[in-house]
Amino acid sequence: MGGGGEDLTFIDDEGKRLDGRKPNELRPIKMKLGGVPNADGSALVEWGDNKVMAACYGPRELHPKHKQHPMRALVQVTYNMAPFSVSDRKRPGPDRRSQEISKVLSEALTHVTFVEQFPKATIDVYVEILQASAGTRCVGLTAASLAMADAGIPMRDIVTSVAAGKVGGEIVLDLSKEEDNFGEADLPIGMVVNSGEVVLLQMDGHMTTAEFEKAMGLIEDAAKEIYGMQVDAIKAKYSEVGA
Ligand code: CDP
C-alpha cells in the first residue's frame, strides 16, 4: 500500500471503480493448460494486465540428497518476475519479495498435494511473471495449481487464489495496479473452494473485523467463479487429448 493517492476518487457516483469495474467485479481472466512442452505440466494465465506462465516438473528425486525428506515429497515453488514484466526494468534474480512469495506458494500447494506418496522426491513448480499488474501472487498460485494438475500430480484438490482490498474506504475485489499502489489494504487469499480451507492469507494495510469479513465474502464468491474457470481449462485440454 503505497499511500499518496488521497486525491484519487476510487469509486465514482455510479459505484464504478477507476477501471469501470463494480466493487465485486474481477478483471477479465483467461487460462489455458500447456505452453511449455518440456515440462511435465504447464499453464498460462492472463488476468487483467497480468500474464503468468507456470511449469511443473516431477515428482523426481531431490538433489542434493541431504535436502530430501525421508517420508514425503517437497513442493518447491520458484516465483520470478521477468526483467521486462514491469515498466522500470526489474533487476533479475531472487530478492526478498520473490523469496517470500515462493515460500507462501510452496506452503499453499503442499497442503493439497499427496506428498506422502513420494518420499525423498521434489515437485518443482516455476511461476514466471511475464507481465505484472497487481495480484501476481494470486495469479501465480492459480496458474501453479493448473500446471500441477496438468503434470498429473496427485492432489486432494486445486488451489484458487484472489485478493480483495480497501480503497477510498470501500472493500473491493481484485485490486488493479492503481488501487494496489494507492489503496489502504490488500488481502490476498488462497483457498480450496470445495472445503473452504484457507491455504494462503496475507494482508498489507489495515481493515476492521467487519471489513475483513466483507472482503472474505467477496473472495469466497469470486473463488467459486475462478475455480469453475480452472476446471474448464483442465477439461478443455483433456477433451482435446481424448478427441
Ligand atoms: O503482485 P502482488 O500484488 O502479489 O505483490 P505486491 O508485492 O503487492 O506487488 C504489487 C505489484 O507491484 C506487482 O503486481 C507489480 O505490478 C508491482 N511491482 C513492481 O512494479 N516491481 C517490483 N519489483 C515488484 C512489484
- The CATH number for 47's domain is 3.30.230.70
Q: Give 48's DSSP letter.
A: T
Instruction: List all residues whose CB is within 6 A of at least one atom of ligand 1.
Output: 86, 90, 97, 132-137, 177, 180, 188
In the β-sheet with 121-131, what is the strand arrangement from edge to edge? 29-33, 41-47, 50-61, 121-131, 74-81
* Confidence category of residue 8, pLDDT binned at 50, 70, 90: confident
Does 209 score more than 90 pLDDT?
A: yes
Does 5 score more than 80 pLDDT?
A: no
Q: Is 35 inside any structural domain?
A: yes
**Which pLDDT score, from 0 to 100, does residue 153 have?**
98
Calculate mean pLDDT across residues 129-141.
Answer: 98
**Which pLDDT score, from 0 to 100, does residue 41 have?**
98
- Closest protein CA for atom 14 of ligand 1: 134
Residues recorded for the chain: 243
Ligand 1 atom with minimal separation from the 134 CA: 14
Q: Is 121 inside any structural domain?
A: yes
Identify the domain containing residue 159 by its residue range.
Answer: 29-242
**Which pLDDT score, from 0 to 100, does residue 188 have?**
98
User: 94: which 3 cell numbers?
Assistant: 531472487
Share of the chain above pLDDT 90, in %: 94
Q: Is 21 inside any structural domain?
A: no
Does 6 score more than 90 pLDDT?
A: no
Alpha-carbon span 100 to 127, nearest angstrom: 13
- Digit-coded pLDDT (tens) for 153-166: 999 999 999 999 99
* Confidence category of residue 239, pLDDT binned at 50, 70, 90: confident
User: 121: which 3 cell numbers?
Assistant: 522426491
Question: Which residues make Cβ contacts (< 8 Å) with residue 230, sequence separation at least 6?
Answer: 31, 142, 145, 146, 149, 158, 160
- Compute the mean pLDDT over every residue in the chain, rounded to the nearest whole number: 96
Q: Is 14 inside any structural domain?
A: no
**Which pLDDT score, from 0 to 100, does residue 7 have?**
72
Question: Which residues make Cβ contacts (< 8 Å) with residue 232, sequence separation at least 6?
Answer: none
* Distance between Cα 209 and ligand 1 center (Å): 26
- Digit-coded pLDDT (tens) for 159-207: 999 999 999 999 999 999 999 999 999 999 999 999 999 999 999 999 9
Looking at per-residue pLDDT, the higher value among 106 and 7 belongs to 106
- Closest protein CA for atom 9 of ligand 1: 134
- Is the pTM for the entire model greater than 0.85? yes
**Which pLDDT score, from 0 to 100, does residue 89 have?**
92
User: 146: which 3 cell numbers?
Assistant: 493448473
How many structural domains are present in the chain?
Answer: 1
Does 4 score more than 70 pLDDT?
A: no
